[in-house]
Amino acid sequence: MMGRDGNISVIRIGALAAIVGVLIIIGAAISFFIDRASRQVPLDIELYPGAMTWGQRANSGSARTVYYQISGEIAPEQVKDFYQQKMDQFYPADTERELRECKRDPRDGNFNEYDEGVPNKIPYQWSCLFDRSGFQVTQFTRVNIMPGINDTAGMTIIAYEQTWQP
């Protein structure tokens, strides 16, 4: 850092600052691209224990819905409680409660179509949104939980609606 004359060399300090600046910019760019690449796949959320794969539908090259079923006496509300715990772990504590809470649709009772006896209509569903989207990058999984109907009566159905950045 010192010049030949024993004084501080402005040129050497400037060169060192430029090198450090370039390294910081390169590190930031690498970090950005690593983060972006991590969002180019579906967001995996732990599956409810005992749930079995029931099928899958590709909605596009970067969106799909995966269906699971749970046999037995497991109520949709029990499954919702499991995913609510996962949401509480997924989101930072300072996130608004409204954003990190599973929501029931409709809030009370059943859908009108179900009450009217329309075939193949579910009575209600819970939706839990796990969103990891960032700066111009989309990545989320919406977990829909509903009671089974028709041939799945007595079961609980889980649908993972997943969207990610291509």
Q: Which residues of the chain have pLDDT under 50?
A: none
Instruction: Label residue 157 exposed, middle or buried (CB < 10 Å: 0-12, 13-18, 19+).
Output: buried
Give, as one character, the DSSP assignment of residue 137. Answer: B
pLDDT of residue 137: 86
Rounded to an integer, what distance in angstroms lies between the CA atom of residue 78 and that of residue 48? 10
